[in-house]
Chains A and B, each alone.
Chain A
Amino acid sequence: MIEVRGLTKRYGEVLAVDDLTFAVRPGEVTGFLGPNGAGKSTTLRMILGLDAASSGTATVGGKPYPAQPAPLKAVGALLDPGAVLPGRTAYHHLLALAAGNGIPRNRVDEALAEVGLEKVARRRAGTYSLGMRQRLGIAAALLGEPPVLVFDEPLNGLDPEGIVWIRSLMRKMAADGRTVLMSSHLMSEMELTADHLIVIGRGKLIADTTMKDFIEAHSEREVLVRTPQAETLRPLLPGGAGVRAEDNHTLVVTGLEAAEIGALAAAGGVELHELSPRQVSLEKAFMNLTRDAVEYQAERETGR
């Protein structure tokens, strides 16, 4: 359980994170979304005690991160996967982290095996590909077998196989009853992985809801209509409906259910070749919601 209350980070005049309050619950994967510069990383860094909050609190399992008796056993975090000394082996990188928390040596080998790096563990990390470094970062997060996992952009640099692996890892961690918070820019992947969403923009909380509710609330449902008589159908639809022609034979209708359109077409004797509600993606819902925040960001740079 991660609890954030009134969390605020101010850099001079700029509010990078503005009075955020939310909770991340165990047993599900929570996606953390926001446009670039929305304050996601800053929020995660404050949760992990890396940056000091200007005001407000963040606790994990009821305690601020720095007060955890053995932090790696409380929270596993992946923040900066490139961060390994190039001359040091993956094994020694993890061994030092484990030692700092009194985690036994055999757990290092286990974590390396869990991410599939056991064969290259004695190689210098400087020789690793981006994907291998990402896996090493995840091994570090798993070291203490923590009940809470925080992943900032865990999919960067991973190949399709790696992305599927991360997805199943997160799902499994959540199914085990762990708290999983992850940020990502890959909306399609987020849609497949997360159950719950926390969306921020300009440092403020925009949404804290389930994936399903989020998509429903932030997208207009569209119905695709394919007909050779598009020009005949068009005047038959009520004025309140939005109609957009994709080509001579295809209309995209908003504000009407598929059944209503079908009934109107039948009544008007219009021949239909296709009538299908369009699946609205998280990506589209997210774009609709954050468009204002993104535009604001483009106008004036705020924070990081």
Chain B
Amino acid sequence: MRHTVTHLGPKAAKGKLFPRVRGRRPASNDTRTSRATFWHSLRAEWIKMRTMRSTLYVILGALAFSMGLAALSGSSAGGEYARLPPADQAAFDPLATSLRGYLVAQIAFGLLGGLVMTSEYGARTIVATLTSVPHRARVLGSKAAVLVGVALPVGVLVSLAGFLIGQASLSGAGAPHLALSDGAALRGVFGGGMYLALAGLFGLALGAVICSTTATVTTLFGVMLIVQAFAPALPGAVGDWVSKFWPPIAGGRIITAFRDPELLSPWAGLAVMAGCVAALLAAAFIVFRERDA
């Protein structure tokens, strides 16, 4: 007889070997089943990602917004440049001016990441997903991998489009502008793409923890925009700390070319954001693993 005192459920996924108690099997059925792996789950999540209609809408929205904002802020900032006092002219940052669209694009990417989880809870397909792949870590891991696979190239594309349009309109307005071959430009475009992919993972982790699309979007707005907007209004030390270390603000340093000694360097800032996302994802893995579906 079997001696089982195991805890059934997600935690049993590690699998103890029980002697097989086999009943009559259907003659037609081949019982030698090949083992499903992470790669299978990765394929499943890729199919889901590309057949979720919001994926395309979110990507197109982020692209359109970042290009539009780059064109507008490029021409208006460019036009004002000549009238700026010399100190402000020295601090003028053509890179950040062209990539300002990331402020909204990060919400779109966070929403996309969130939807990867919350659409499953909203439509209750999470039940089908977890009966197909009961390994919770495998499900969340492959969702994260597919998300990065989509968000990173699209994020670079969004940054690149913003950069090219923004620099063109700065140049048209006769303001300082950068070429793609400048080191800061490449860092801004690729780093900006990485930041947007991190925003996607941030949304994924939030979605996995709170399950609701609405609550995820609200949280994204709060964390990524509202804190950013109110940071200057916060009192003294708190305001300084938030402006320097609040992960989305720190991460945003990656698209700046002007070095502000009060703030983190671009890569250090991005590392703060990455650390925050890593911690949140770790929490998401634990919650998702323990929670009843």
Contacts and interface: CB of A to CB of B under 8 A. Distances in A.
A80 B234 CA distance: 49
B127 A145 contact: no
A63 B18 contact: yes
A148 B247 CA distance: 49
A140 B44 CA distance: 14
Contacts of B48: 85, 88, 92, 96
Given A57-B5, A59-B21, A89-B51, 20 more contacts: A27-B23, A45-B293, A46-B8, A46-B9, A48-B134, A50-B127, A50-B130, A52-B8, A52-B10, A52-B11, A52-B290, A61-B21, A62-B18, A64-B16, A69-B35, A77-B131, A79-B131, A87-B51, A93-B128, A147-B25
Interface in B267-293: 290, 292-293
Interface of A: 1, 3, 5, 7, 25-27, 45-46, 48-53, 55-59, 61-75, 77, 79-80, 82-89, 92-93, 95-97, 99-102, 140, 145-147, 176-179
A4 to B, nearest CB: 9
A69 B127 CA distance: 18
A147 B20 CA distance: 15
A55 B2 CA distance: 16
Given A66-B12, A72-B132, A101-B36, A53 B7 contact: yes
B116 to A, nearest CB: 11
Mostly, the B contact residues are loop
A3 B24 CA distance: 14
A149 to B, nearest CB: 11
Contact of A83 (B2, B20, B41, B124): B124
Contact of B47 (A66, A86, A96): A96
A79 B132 CA distance: 13
A1 B21 contact: yes
A7 B51 CA distance: 38
A70 B35 contact: yes
Nearest to B135: A66
B34 A102 contact: yes
29 contacts: A1-B21, A1-B23, A52-B10, A57-B4, A57-B5, A61-B20, A61-B21, A61-B22, A64-B6, A66-B13, A67-B13, A67-B15, A69-B34, A70-B35, A71-B131, A73-B33, A83-B126, A85-B123, A92-B51, A97-B132, A99-B47, A100-B40, A100-B129, A102-B40, A176-B26, A177-B24, A177-B25, A177-B27, A178-B26
A85 B125 contact: yes
B83 interface: no
Interface of B: 2, 4-16, 18-29, 31, 33-37, 40-41, 43-45, 47-48, 51-54, 119, 123-135, 290, 292-293
A3 B7 CA distance: 15
Contacts, number: 192
A79 B21 CA distance: 25
A49 B8 contact: yes
A272 B129 CA distance: 64
A66 B10 contact: yes
B127 to A, nearest CB: 5
A50 B293 contact: yes
A56 B8 contact: yes
B26 A177 contact: yes
B79 to A, nearest CB: 43
B128 to A, nearest CB: 6
Contacts of A66: 9-10, 12-13, 15, 134-135
Contacts of A72: 131-132
Contacts of A49: 8-10, 12-13, 130-131, 134
A48 B43 CA distance: 22
B132 A101 contact: yes
A92 B52 CA distance: 10
A25 B25 CA distance: 11
A267 to B, nearest CB: 54
A196 B75 CA distance: 77
Nearest to A174: B26
Contact of A26 (B10, B24, B292): B24
